[in-house]
Amino acid sequence: MDFSLNEEQEMLRKMARDFLTDQCPKSLVREMAKDERGYPPELWKNMAGLGWMGLAFPERYGGSGGSFLDLTVLLEEAGRACLPGPFFSTVVLGGLTILEAGNEEQKQELLTKVSKGELLFTLALTEPGASNESSTIAVKAIPDNNNYIINGTKLFVPDAHIADYIICVARTTEGISLFLVDAKSSGIESTVLKTIDGNKQCELIFTNVKVPKKEVLGELGHGWAAVEKVLERAKIAKCADMVGISQQALEMAVDYAKQRVQFGVPIGSFEVIQHYCADMAIDVDGSRFITYDAAWRLSEGISCAKEVAIAKAWVSEACQRVVSQAIHIFASIGMSEDHDMPLYFKRAKAAELAFGSSEPQHELVAQEIGL
Amino acid sequence: MDFQFTKEQEQFRKEIDDFLEREIQKDTFQVKVDAWVTERSKEFSKKVAQKGWIGMTWPKDYGGQGRSYIDRLILTEEMLRYGAPTADYWIGDRQIGPALIAYGSEEQKGEFLPRIIKGEISFALGMSEPEAGCDLASLTTLAVAEDDEYIINGQKVWTSGAADAEYIYLVLRTNPNVPRHRGISEFIIDLKTPGIDVRPLESMTGSREWTEVFFSDCRVPKTCLVGKVDQGWYQIASQLDYERAGIERLMANYPLSVNIIKYAKETKLDGKKLSDEPWVRYKLADLTIKFEVGRLLIYRVAWVLSEGKVPNIEAAIAKAFGTKFEAELANTATLICGPYGQLMPDSKWAPLNGWAASSYLWSPGYSVQGGTTEILKNVLAMRGLGLPRS
């Protein structure tokens, strides 16, 4: 057992933190929340230059052959910096799905470009009035000569407005299948939803969208197995994001408690504030280990449905407690729009709600323990 | 990060489980909750000793096995999972041995370590006093040096196991005329020494494990002093980290955890299985989630120890989290059992051997023993996060 990051991971973490401190200031985060595209292409290029997009892809696809655990380190730093943009959607929802389900040609062509930062991807999974269950997928793909014709509505598709390709989860006669849809295809109507933190999630309406048959990802009718794996990684990626959010919120609150003077003393000398901070620190540590334990299992290919549900359940709740407590320690100033705390408070809610909050994860855990 | 157990560690776990299964079959013990505090058995201690499992992390020079803290955690985890009667040797193995190895004289090591390792002797912990609880450094039980002896006068309270143990480990004031942290010393004395009066206290659990211990002109040889005179406070600090660090802070009532899940699956209420009730499913899942988080926090402590570091902050975090879980487990079990959750172990109709009710009565103590949650959070806030002293 080893509860520490290895040397390369420590280096990666330090590099990411320095880079994001320099290139992703909070002014940029605020700007991007209001920006139509929601990400600065310049920053994206620089991230690609550091090898972030290809970190978890094999070298033969232009990646650096890192593990999902390595990627988790990066995702934690992204959360800590409130990094805006399509890193999660392109790498976790897009790239890892292609790596999981794609054929050799697709992997070679697409992942190489993702690694270089040349293509943006996303996954269209959720539908109106449905959670992420295979039985609820109603978007249909019907064969027509050399094409499939897709019809239906997807919701909460991250960064679909800027994506080059959308991996669409659709129902075919064989079952659930994945389609690699060119985002510029005619018949796709994309509307960016107004989210709590300005992250870009879209409604996608597919009206007779033609997709060439060769753009099926993986085997027809076998798409759901890939989706389940993507969901596990996506949940842990969101956990890593929340670990970064929590860590930063804790540090900000502790620093403030040391400096803020009331009744002639720093408020951090009051036992009640000390205990708030201690509770936050316990939550941050627990969140980190339960997340990295699941990330390690995913990296090692050990089945971990239970561990993933446990992590998403716990970290979602713990992160909410931490950001709420932190904002409370700052009091009113922590709610000011030009303060950094609201960025974390908002991002925490978006991450909590992504791929199921604590409550539905509890039901998955209940099933895993045989109830 | 790597959360894998080695093949050897997996085999070791299996060896422990096989041993415990056999002992249960032989009726050496019955599975109980809170057994690491209440269930004493010299017979069982000796069997564990024969396996080389007491003092297993101690250096070979002192009769130990020089094994890792992760190994010891695996061992204690399985002992608690099976609710084995470990109370008699637990304290000696956990903290008296390590304290003697760190601070004891060669004579003391020679006198005590081999007997702890053989499972022959047991220790009570004499720390709290009527006026010294969380503020332990305010203790007043006095040891005055006279020729080759110390004369002890005063009182300890909430002293676990003094009615059954052979020895008592004591924290005493040896110099009342210096700043309070600098006048405290540690002792180990024979409980049969004249001048000691042990009076069991009945707790609300019905257990008589806690005692009051009175000292009236109790004369002990100077060789009972452990470490340096007046330096006890500084010696205790790291011992408390051992006391706080273990998985008994998460799994004291573990048999309840497995069995309440089983109970929910097998029990019907109004014709419907309890495990089909949404609130029951939620509560049991919630316990599972918290247990897994706590388990990692406690394995982290063992990992810190195995890196040769003192797990001060890490132990505080693990104990604060773990004991909260234990109390929640007990409470949740009573709720799931409904009116049956109040039935005590000997009652007709008592589900789960009455463990829910009895563990519930123990539960306020989990977050008190070995440093209250509030003291642990003070440690974490000031030493861990660097917040200013209040």
Q: What is the DSSP string of A103-142?
A: -HHHIIIIIHHHHTT---EEEE---TT--S-GGG---EEE
CA-based nearest distance B270→chain A, Å:
18
Mean pLDDT score, B305-328: 93
Q: Which of A255, A256, A274 to mutate to test the interface with B (most CBs of B within 10 A)?
A: A274
Nearest CA in chain A to B277: A371
Quickly count helices (H) and strands (E) in chain A.
13, 10
In this structure, what token pair is assigned to residue B162? 């003094």
Q: What is the CATH number of domain A122-222?
A: 2.40.110.10
Q: What kind of fold does domain B246-384 have according to CATH?
A: Butyryl-CoA Dehydrogenase, subunit A; domain 3 (1.20.140)
A183-236, pLDDT tens digit by residue? 999 999 999 999 999 999 999 999 999 999 999 999 999 999 999 999 999 999
> What is the crossing angle of helices A305-330 and A358-368, to 10°?
150
Closest CB from B284, B384, B387 relative to A371:
B284
Interface confidence, given as ipTM, is 0.94
Residue B389: HSE in the Cβ half-sphere, 13 Å Cα cutoff: 0
In this structure, what token pair is assigned to residue A201? 């999630």
CB–CB of A282 and B275 under 8 A? no
Q: Rounded to an integer, what distance in angstroms lies between the CA atom of residue A170 and that of residue A179?
A: 7
Nearest CA in chain A to B388: A269
Mean pLDDT score, B110-135: 96
Contacts of A363 in chain B (CB under 8 A): 281-282, 285
In this prediction, what percent of chain B has a pLDDT beyond 90? Answer: 92
Nearest CA in chain A to B320: A282
Q: Are strands A140-144 and A147-158 parallel, antiparallel or unpaired?
A: antiparallel
Mean pLDDT score, B235-254: 84
Decide: A91 and A63 in contact? Cβ < 8 Å: no
Decide: B336 and B263 in contact? Cβ < 8 Å: yes
pLDDT at A119: 97
pLDDT at A130: 84
Q: Rounded to an integer, what distance in angstroms lies between the CA atom of residue B382 and that of residue B390?
A: 9
User: By C-alpha distance, which of A139, A132, A131, A210 is closest to A168?
Assistant: A139
Closest CB from A254, A296, A314 relative to B3:
A296
Q: Rounded to an integer, what distance in angstroms lies between the CA atom of residue A286 and that of residue A291?
A: 8
Confidence check: pLDDT of B243 > 80: no
User: By C-alpha distance, which of A367, A352, A290 is closest to B285?
Assistant: A367
Exposure b/e, A14-53, CB count within 10 A at least 16 = b: eebeebbeeebeeebbbebbeeeebbbeebbebbbeebbb
The architecture in CATH of the region A224-368 reads Up-down Bundle (1.20)
Task: Kindly provide the residue ranges of all beta strands, DSSP E only, lying in chain B, ordered along the sequence.
Answer: 123-126, 142-146, 149-160, 167-173, 184-190, 196-200, 210-221, 225-226, 268-269, 272-273
Quickly count helices (H) and strands (E) in chain B.
14, 10
CB–CB of A369 and B3 under 8 A? no
Same fold flag, B7-121 and B125-231: no
Q: What kind of fold does domain B125-231 have according to CATH?
A: Butyryl-CoA Dehydrogenase, subunit A; domain 2 (2.40.110)
- Per DSSP, A191 falls in state E
Confidence check: pLDDT of B369 > 90: no
CA-based nearest distance A309→chain B, Å:
9
Confidence check: pLDDT of B242 > 90: no
Q: What is the CATH number of domain B7-121?
A: 1.10.540.10
CB–CB of A254 and B385 under 8 A? yes
pLDDT at B152: 98
The architecture in CATH of the region A7-118 reads Orthogonal Bundle (1.10)
pLDDT at B385: 97
Mean pLDDT score, B177-204: 97
Contacts of B374 in chain A (CB under 8 A): 271, 275
List C-alpha distances in Å: A274 to A250, A278, B96.
Answer: 12, 6, 32
Q: Rounded to an integer, what distance in angstroms lies between the CA atom of residue B104 and that of residue B113?
A: 10
B162-174, pLDDT tens digit by residue? 999 999 999 999 9
Confidence check: pLDDT of B241 > 80: no
Domain boundaries, chain B: 7-121, 125-231, 246-384
User: By C-alpha distance, which of A292, A302, A346, A295 is closest to A324?
Assistant: A346
Domain boundaries, chain A: 7-118, 122-222, 224-368
In this structure, what token pair is assigned to residue B201? 């206290």
Nearest CA in chain B to A360: B282
**Minimum mean pLDDT range among A12-26, A217-231, B43-57, B305-319:** B305-319
User: Would you tell me how many other CB atoms lie within 10 Å of the CB of residue B47?
Assistant: 18
In this structure, what token pair is assigned to residue B130? 């009527």
Mean pLDDT score, B74-95: 96
CB–CB of B385 and A5 under 8 A? no
User: By C-alpha distance, which of A79, A367, A23, A117 is closest to A197?
Assistant: A79
CB–CB of B285 and A69 under 8 A? no
Decide: B153 and B217 in contact? Cβ < 8 Å: yes
pLDDT at B206: 87
Decide: B345 and B358 in contact? Cβ < 8 Å: yes
Q: Mark the ranges of chain A whose per-residue pLDDT is less than 70.
A: none
Closest CB from B1, B317, B321 relative to A4:
B1
Confidence check: pLDDT of B371 > 90: no
Q: Are strands B149-160 and B167-173 parallel, antiparallel or unpaired?
A: unpaired
